[in-house]
Structure 1
Amino acid sequence: MWNPDGSGRHAPVNLSTHSSSSSSALLNNIRAERTAREEQRKREAAATVIQSLWRGRSAAARVQNELLDAFERGQFPSVERGVRALVVLLGQDRPATRQRVGKILEAWTTAARQVDGAGHPAFAAGLTDPEYLLVFALVCARILGFVSGSPRTQLAAHLLSSLDAFLEPAAWGAVPDAQRAAFVTVLASQQWVETGVKVLKDLVAASLPKRKHASLQPLVRLLTPAILPITTDSPFVPPLVNVLLAVPSLASSIPITSVPYLSTHLALFSALLPAAAANPELLSQNGLATELGRTHFLANLATFGINGGLLARNGRQGMTDWMKVVGTVIGTLGEGWGQWVERAGATGAAGAHTRALARAAETIDSDDEAGDGRKVHRPVLPASVSTKLLLLTSSDQLATLASFVLNSTSPGLLGDFADFVLGILKAFRGSTRWEATLDAVLEGKRGRASVKQLWREGVRGKWDSSRRGWDNWQQNPNTSVLLLLSHVYSHFLLLAPDDEFFESQSNPLSLDEVKELSTIWRDLAFWGYMNGVAEHPSSTSGTDEVRSLFTRAVTRVAERNARRKFAPDNFWVMQTDLQGFVEAVKDEDHVLSGESEEHQEGPRYRPRHLSRRQLAFSSPRIGLLNNLPMAIPFGTRLQVFREFVRADQERLGISRYDRRTRHKATIRRTNLAEDGFRQLNRLGPALKGTIEISFVDKWGQEEAGIDGGGLFKEFLTEMSKEAFDTERGLWLANNSNELYPNPHSYSTESHQLQWYGFIGRVLGKALYEDILVDVTFAGFFLAKWLGRQSYLDDLASLDRELYNGLVKLKNLPNPEDLELYFTVTEDDFGVARSVDLVPGGSDIAVTAANRHEYIQLVCKYKLDRQIAQQSRAFFSGLSDIIDPTWLRMFDQQELAQLLGGEETPIDLTDLRQHAQVTGYEDGYTPQLFWKVVAGFTQEERRSLLRFVTGCSRPPLLGFGYLNPGFAIRNGGADTERLPTASSCANLLKLPDYKNERVLRTKLLQAINSGAGFDMS
């Protein structure tokens, strides 16, 4: 019966005769069966191979046993018949038969060396037969292979001696050179040199320190057989280059009597170096595939080439090949290689001194951001190897090469020399040898001539000033010469005081040539920042390291020009379209600010800190402004600075009407500095906000007035006068009355360091608010604001007497006569004590070799170490207000102008044009005023400006940028009164004088009395 819910339905019945299994299962089964059959075929094939190999080995063993039996029964009476049997016999090395084979070889070689009545050895009888010759070559190679299995035995010594006799040139007199070459080819095909080096290493290990293994002498002769001179196309050349010369301490590992033979027959300069120079792939194979192997290779080259005198005796081609090979190999060495080598050679007390100087050298003239911080772990290097390697940087070797290049007319030689020296500089970066190499290139008249040659033959006229010069950097064939010149001349700029730079007898280049070279540096560095650096091997543009080098070099020249002008105005400015530059910088800064705030963990006012290198990568224009600011006009940079401040104020919501960023302070005029420190120091970065000042007079009464900015300006001006008073003990003045932090221990106390931090914030606030401060800092201290290292010329702004002494030391023929040591004497409140410049400095004498390190360490101590804590505190406070990247847009002189205005004569026409005069019924008194001021000296005009504005220097870019503007207001009809001023408003209150003499007298009396705010 049918049910509506379907419960009465029958189950479906499958009437098909097929299986219910799916087609996919069937395919899987087929695939598995196919795989099983394939595996079976492989097993069968493998079994066939094994069986064949077994049968072959069995047959070979059977043949070998038969030959052994035949030899032992005397069935090979002649040497010639025996040599053919030995080829087969030695084809398989089985431990079970090794002793029997050894006895047969001993007997055969003895017989082969027997001489006939004419004095001819038995083995030589068939050498003219080409077939015998090749078989004989195979036998010799296999005998050497047999020896390598146990080279220290008596049998091995006999066999090596026999091989040495076989290859004695006297026995080969009748053999043509072509057949000799064929013989050598067979030896090389059987890895003759490689096997010999294996034996050599074993015998060296078995030698006593003062007694070399006796078998080493014949073995050395076997490695360079004299039957055929080695030429560049000899098959022995590759293994001799990258196997034999990679043996550690090769010359000292063999008997001393073998060294002259090897030096003569190795054909180092006639074959090996030319072949390696033509085929540089040889220098990365076999033993030279590792850095350690290349290290021993260089040490061996130095032993034979420099110690052995071969380099000096091999002329133009020899020196060319030497520079190419050594330059290629040394260029492949890893970071820190030179320091590793130098430390290895530093043993005992002298070694400790060398290591101390090397550590100090790491901080001298280095681009700290250029390194990637990776450390390579290397094994201990024997001091003897290090000594040989350091010969590569010796002044004698470099002088030899440089003199040769000077006297050569070969067009490519200058590039080879540049590649060679650049390789050494790269390898020894961070060690004292880096500077020593540059010193050697610069040394004496020959050094100056080398610099001229690099410039005139390798650089001048060969560089495009457009962006193509940078974008196609890798394709210019003169890159290495420009790099070497940049390194060498930049080093000269580092060491030479200004007097030497401007002296034509000392400076390798004329000032016109310096300007032309600086233009090349500037252009390439500029486009390096604007277009970016190479980020992958296929890129043709320059690298970050190259860009940094050019930046450093052109900056040093620009600093010279700033101290003593020799280039025209705007010489450093790039002649390029800067339209939209400021807006582009603002956009980059906006992006940076967004990224900084995303990762920022700290107070709301905390500034971001990025290195120059980071900025160059992330923001090209800001990177340019921080690294190569002189390429952009000063006015443009000043505009960018103001835009940065304005953008920062917008980010922080700073507004005079915003209570959140407003802070009040009540300041007693009698305790202005102390009250300012007590109430404002705790604000930290919040000092960026609006500060409202209320003054309390000496009677304790609060002065009338609402601070609209003028009172704070006056506070800042007066605060600066007190804070920088040298009587307070925080600051000292040099002979030019320029200030720098007091280096005495008193200044490093906690409370004093807080004062340094507060003063840094106060000056930062002045910059932030565009308020000029009448203070002048020493040049070396301003350089620290910009994050720049201090050098010899900076010392002149601290201690002229010490500077002059170091300049004399630099040029003294025999500095050892002064008996100086790596120490300085420090005077702390009348107590003198000696301070080591490096660990153990009191035991390290100053010599001609290390005086540059001494000079720079003295500078570093005086300019950096003595005031390190004070400077850190000051700059920490300054950076609370002003981002350090903003200041790096300026040089030292521009920064001084940014702080206190321009050190230029006061332009009365500019002042009168922008002055606002109010309150006079007629223009007579203002006319008298301008007439009187026109008769003032520049010093009197500066006093007037200080009286009215609080600063004696005119504002940057002229009085049109003075904020608030210079103003003159009628001070009343009482002509007995003195003029007064409100410096907070840049306002002169001038009574309505009608007499020129009276106006002049009263005005001079007022400005020289120091009277100012609130006198009226």
Structure 2
Amino acid sequence: MWNPDAGKHGSVDLSTASASSSSGVLATVRAKRLAREQERRQELAALAIQRVWRGRSSARQTRAQLLAHLQDKPIGIEDTGKVLVLLSGDGDRDGFGAIATKWATSALDKDRRPAFVAQLGDDEFAYRFALLLRRLLGFIAKQPRTVLSAQLLGKLVDLIAPPVYAGLEAERRQAFVATLGGDWVKTGVGALREFIAAGQRLPKKKHPLSTPIVSVIMAPIAIAPPAQDSPLVASLLQDLMTLPSLPFSLPLPALTTLLRSLPLFQVLLPAAAADPALLDAGGLSTELAKTHFLSNLATFGITGGMLQRQGAQGMRDWIAVVGTMFSTLGEGWGRWVATSGSEVEPMVVDDSDSDDEDENGKRVARKPVREPLPSNVAARLYSFASPAHLGTLVAAAMQGDSKTLVDFSFFVLGLLNAFRGSARWEATLDAVMEGKRGARMTKLLWREGVRGKWGSGRKDWETFSSNPNRAMLMLLSHIYCHYLLLTPDDEFFSNDTNALTLDEVLDLSTIWRDLAYWGFMEGVSSGESPSRGPGTEEVRSLFTRGVTRVAERKKFAPHNFWVMRELNSDINSFVNAVRYEEASLQGASAPRALRQRELAYIAPRLGLLNNLPMAVPFETRVDVFRQFVRADQMRTRGDNPFHSSRVQAQIRRTSVAHDGFRQLNRPGALRGMVQIQFVNEHGLPEAGIDGGGLFKEFLTCLVKEAFDVERGLWLANDENELYPNPHGYATEPHQLEWYTFWLGRQSYLDDLSSLDAELYRGLISVKNYPKPEELSLSFTVTEDDFGVARSVDLVPGGSEIPVTAENRAEYIQLMCQYKLGRQFAAQSRAFFSGLAEMIDPRWLRIFDQAELAQLLGGEHADIDLADLKRHTHFSGFAPDSSTPTAFWRVLESLSQEQRGKLVKFVTSCSRPPLLGFKYLNPEFAVRNAGSDTQRLPTASSCANLLKLPDYKDERLLREKLLQAIESGAGFDMS
């Protein structure tokens, strides 16, 4: 219908509402509902606050009125309930304290004897009385160092004295202690902590009120000894036992009371062994608190002699509790303990809450300072690793059941974790391995936890952290790796000194190899102590170390024993994957030197090659190495080996080392192509163009001259083996530039025998001497500088540290490290830096020392003529020529020395190529040099080519060939 007033009314939309408008309406409704609910919650919260405020205000007024009432009248034991109300909240502290003092005085007669004993038979009175004592202790603990608190503490000692309650039935005593509450110990410890802190400022370092507060704390335990599930147990463990240097902070009477009342082996340790969660909660949640707990535990259990008086169950509880505690120490003590009480910079510990900037302006984590421990705490912690303590536990573990052996294994592993980075790490293993007892423990661990209990598949690694035998395997691995480090070969191969037979060693090594292999291929667990999944990085490193130490012994394992069978099935895929990983690392935008651990994470197969190379066949590693070198050549030189960027060098044959050093000693000079031209003794350039052969000859001559002992850079041992000269002359800057090669591998005691046989025999004597203290040795070494003897400390203050049975293993290791490492440190660094300019050190780590020597110098074997014949190519000779046949007959008549000279003449190296002539590149070739039989044979060693005139006479061929290879000259002989 038409509406004349349409302009005055809004338009009406009769269409269906859109989805967006519907959702908007729903959102509005929802928002209003939430607002109403929020308003309702605020109103309820306001009512609750008002109710609490009114209640507390009313209680405050009541206590004020009650205070005024009690102040005007005498107070007796019948006013216990009123005093309880008065002490139940805040208010006039002095007034409340005065009333509490009057009440406590009325509860005691003039001789300070209790006047309430008869009323304790009334359950209601006993309940109120216990509550009042609890309130009274809380009142004291709020301000313990006031005169009022001191007066009340003296009264409380009499009120809570255990003899007062001796006449009550056991059930009533237990009910009374239960009313005192689980916070009784915690509250008292809070006051004790303040007394201890205040006592540090007193002349005798001990506060006199520590004695009464300890009596109060321990009174409930004397009244009714707690059960393992008592609430007092947690507080005793988590609050009392975590007080720093507790035994040394108490006066003698207080310490006596504590030792007499503390149910350490009767209740606390059994309770903690049954419920390990107690050891990682409350006051025991920090590493520092756990450290103080263990220090106090060592004082009571080890120094105090309590442990030795316990039976088998007490030993088991001790092993379980201390082992559990060790396993929860994240940082461990290590250098923290080693530097305690000395003037050193405080340690830092990991903490991601703070950060800083590095030199590039990037934010990096900053670690908080870790203050040194008091010397008395460190001394107590050291006692856990003492031979006497560990000997007691080893005996208990060997006599116990399988669970005790597992707990003991965790105990020692935890102790090793706690002491990592300090000398006590080695001392711990020495104590466990001591004498025949150690050999029996090694055998026991092998039989009970390792033999027949581990497979070789991927699953064994993937489930390692949940394997019940893992602790025994790890402990055995630590023990045996330590044994291998300090044991010479003659002792290792002796059944009298080696706890395991060689077959058992190989079986154990197989387990190590398989688990380490899968650790690299499948990765490690990210947690420090995972309860399931694969092992950790530390576990993988342990097994890798074991394999390495056994493999580096004098060879006794079968050929290819260390090679993983899984690789043989698809070795080509492995090699391709390695090439890809290496190419990925080389192609990174910001390449840097990677540690072996980082490499294992980023590139697992490269990590395997660098950490466990023996698991990969030697031939495969050689192939991988050659591919790495070939790829590096392509990056450095490109496709054309004869490009214009060659480095030119003229080398006088009379001064090879000097000229080579002068012309080629600049960064990167040897990474590109080097073109050598020799100059003879007459100053004339020798004939020939260097296509690689002259350079190889130059390197051979250079090595021979540079390693000449007359230069003073090297010394020779009795076997004419060379080692760097440790004298100061050889460490001068201009001399260090001559050094260029070191592998950086760990040295062992056996390595010392070739360097200094006399010192080696001496260290063996120290190792086996029953009482090394009688030898009067210290941690020093004597050096001879041009006839002047000087003493060098192996550790700071070494001249003051005597060698004992406990530290002789450390002494032997430090002596080996000094003789085989520290005294050559500057030379080694220079040597290795020079090599690193030429070749990536990661590539060298895939070989051991013997393999690397073989890689560099070829096979240490006779020339195999059959192999050479199969891989030699003849060219230029007529099909019916007799020269090739005569050539082979001549070679058959040559001695091995002469054959080596022929190979050197053609290839510049007298040894056969690694893995045979098949791998010589270019292949060995013989080319017809024409019919002039008066010419001598010549060679192009850059192409491994022998240019042989077409001699028709075998005798002449032999004569000319020997003349050429015996001449030792270059290209001028033709």
Q: Equivalents in 2 of 1:332, 1:52: separation in Å?
A: 45
Q: Equivalents in 2 of 1:442, 1:645: separation in Å?
A: 46
User: In structure 1, what is the equivalent of residue 767 of structure 2?
Assistant: 810
Amino acid in structure 2 at the alignment position of 1:111: S
Q: How does 1:471-620 map to 2 (within 5 A)?
A: 471-535=462-526, 540-560=533-553, 564-600=554-590, 609-620=593-604
**1:221 is aligned to 2:215:** yes
Amino acid in structure 1 at the alignment position of 2:720: N
Q: Quick one: which of 434, 439, 444 aligns to 2:435?
A: 444
User: In structure 2, what is the equivalent of residue 717 of structure 1?
Assistant: 700
Amino acid in structure 2 at the alignment position of 1:956: L
Q: Secondary structure at the match of 2:251?
A: coil
TM-aligned CA distance change 1:376 to 1:976, over 3 Å: same
Deviation at 1:289, TM superposition (A): 2.3
**1:133 is aligned to 2:126:** yes
Q: Secondary structure at the match of 2:755?
A: coil
Q: Equivalents in 2 of 1:100, 1:705: separation in Å?
A: 113
Q: Quick one: which of 90, 109, 112 aligns to 1:114?
A: 109
Q: Quick one: which of 307, 310, 314 aligns to 1:311?
A: 307
Decide whether the 8 Å contact of 2:113 with 2:158 is kept in 1.
Answer: no
Q: Quick one: which of 258, 283, 286 aligns to 1:287?
A: 283
Identity, % of aligned pairs?
54
Q: Equivalents in 1 of 2:66, 2:639: separation in Å?
A: 107
User: In structure 2, what is the equivalent of residue 874 of structure 1?
Assistant: 831
Decide whether the 8 Å contact of 1:979 with 1:991 is kept in 2.
Answer: no
Q: How does 1:167-566 map to 2 (within 5 A)?
A: 167-189=160-182, 191-207=183-199, 208-210=202-204, 212-225=206-219, 226-335=222-331, 337-346=333-342, 375-408=367-400, 410-535=401-526, 540-560=533-553, 564-566=554-556
Amino acid in structure 1 at the alignment position of 2:809: H
What are the Cα deviations for residues 599-642 of structure 1, in whole angstroms up to 9, with x where unaligned? Answer: 258xxxxxx63322222112121111111110011111111111
Decide whether the 8 Å contact of 2:887 with 2:957 is kept in 1.
Answer: no
Q: Equivalents in 2 of 1:510, 1:853: separation in Å?
A: 26
User: In structure 2, what is the equivalent of residue 648 of structure 1?
Assistant: 632
- How large is the Cα RMSD of the aligned pairs? 4.0
TM-aligned CA distance change 1:471 to 1:164, over 3 Å: same
User: In structure 2, what is the equivalent of residue 742 of structure 1?
Assistant: 725
Q: Quick one: which of 652, 668, 671 aligns to 1:685?
A: 668
Q: Equivalents in 2 of 1:585, 1:14: separation in Å?
A: 87
Q: Equivalents in 2 of 1:169, 1:676: separation in Å?
A: 92
Deviation at 1:587, TM superposition (A): 4.6
User: In structure 2, what is the equivalent of residue 163 of structure 1?
Assistant: 156
User: In structure 2, what is the equivalent of residue 605 of structure 1?
Assistant: none
Deviation at 1:132, TM superposition (A): 2.1
Amino acid in structure 1 at the alignment position of 2:620: T
Deviation at 1:596, TM superposition (A): 3.5
Decide whether the 8 Å contact of 1:656 with 1:662 is kept in 2.
Answer: no
Deviation at 1:243, TM superposition (A): 0.9
Q: Secondary structure at the match of 2:655?
A: helix
Q: Secondary structure at the match of 1:670?
A: coil
User: In structure 2, what is the equivalent of residue 364 of structure 1?
Assistant: none
Deviation at 1:492, TM superposition (A): 1.3
TM-aligned CA distance change 1:1007 to 1:510, over 3 Å: farther
Q: Equivalents in 1 of 2:907, 2:424: separation in Å?
A: 54
Deviation at 1:495, TM superposition (A): 1.6
Q: Equivalents in 2 of 1:28, 1:940: separation in Å?
A: 99
TM-aligned CA distance change 1:31 to 1:639, over 3 Å: closer
Q: Secondary structure at the match of 1:323?
A: helix
Decide whether the 8 Å contact of 2:140 with 2:149 is kept in 1.
Answer: yes
TM-aligned CA distance change 1:35 to 1:439, over 3 Å: closer
Deviation at 1:466, TM superposition (A): 0.5
Q: Equivalents in 2 of 1:673, 1:949: separation in Å?
A: 21
TM-aligned CA distance change 1:1004 to 1:221, over 3 Å: farther
Specify which structure has the bigger relative contact order, considering alpha-carbon pairs within 8 angstroms and separated by 6 or more residues.
1
Q: Equivalents in 1 of 2:236, 2:151: separation in Å?
A: 25
Q: Secondary structure at the match of 1:302?
A: helix
Deviation at 1:525, TM superposition (A): 0.7
What are the Cα deviations for residues 853-873 of structure 1, in whole angstroms up to 9, with x where unaligned? Answer: 333233222322333333223
Q: Equivalents in 1 of 2:793, 2:419: separation in Å?
A: 25
Q: How does 1:144-155 map to 2 (within 5 A)?
A: 144-152=137-145
Decide whether the 8 Å contact of 2:205 with 2:249 is kept in 1.
Answer: no
Q: How does 1:960-999 map to 2 (within 5 A)?
A: 960-965=918-923, 985=944, 987=946
TM-aligned CA distance change 1:217 to 1:567, over 3 Å: same
TM-aligned CA distance change 1:826 to 1:652, over 3 Å: same
Deviation at 1:573, TM superposition (A): 0.6
User: In structure 1, what is the equivalent of residue 893 of structure 2?
Assistant: 932
Decide whether the 8 Å contact of 2:668 with 2:838 is kept in 1.
Answer: yes
Q: Equivalents in 2 of 1:407, 1:30: separation in Å?
A: 76
User: In structure 2, what is the equivalent of residue 958 of structure 1?
Assistant: 916
Q: How does 1:22-101 map to 2 (within 5 A)?
A: 48-49=47-48, 51-68=50-67, 71-72=70-71, 74=73, 79=77, 81-95=78-92, 98-101=93-96
- How many pairs are equivalent? 935
User: In structure 2, what is the equivalent of residue 765 of structure 1?
Assistant: none
Q: Secondary structure at the match of 1:304?
A: helix
Q: Secondary structure at the match of 1:127?
A: helix
Deviation at 1:485, TM superposition (A): 1.5
Q: Quick one: which of 95, 102, 106 aligns to 2:97?
A: 102
**1:638 is aligned to 2:628:** no
Q: Equivalents in 1 of 2:511, 2:42: separation in Å?
A: 71
TM-aligned CA distance change 1:142 to 1:902, over 3 Å: same
TM-aligned CA distance change 1:657 to 1:163, over 3 Å: closer
What are the Cα deviations for residues 394-442 of structure 1, in whole angstroms up to 9, with x where unaligned? Answer: 222111111110122x111111111111112112211111111111111
TM-aligned CA distance change 1:254 to 1:500, over 3 Å: same
TM-aligned CA distance change 1:924 to 1:168, over 3 Å: closer
TM-aligned CA distance change 1:307 to 1:988, over 3 Å: farther
Deviation at 1:940, TM superposition (A): 6.8
Amino acid in structure 2 at the alignment position of 1:551: T
Q: Equivalents in 2 of 1:529, 1:598: separation in Å?
A: 22
TM-aligned CA distance change 1:843 to 1:990, over 3 Å: farther
Q: Equivalents in 2 of 1:727, 1:253: separation in Å?
A: 67
TM-aligned CA distance change 1:1005 to 1:128, over 3 Å: farther
Decide whether the 8 Å contact of 1:402 with 1:441 is kept in 2.
Answer: yes
TM-aligned CA distance change 1:394 to 1:345, over 3 Å: farther
Deviation at 1:522, TM superposition (A): 0.4
Q: Give the TM-score, by structure 2 length.
A: 0.86
Q: Secondary structure at the match of 2:675?
A: strand
Q: Secondary structure at the match of 1:196?
A: helix
Amino acid in structure 2 at the alignment position of 1:471: E
Q: Equivalents in 1 of 2:914, 2:702: separation in Å?
A: 22
Amino acid in structure 1 at the alignment position of 2:792: V
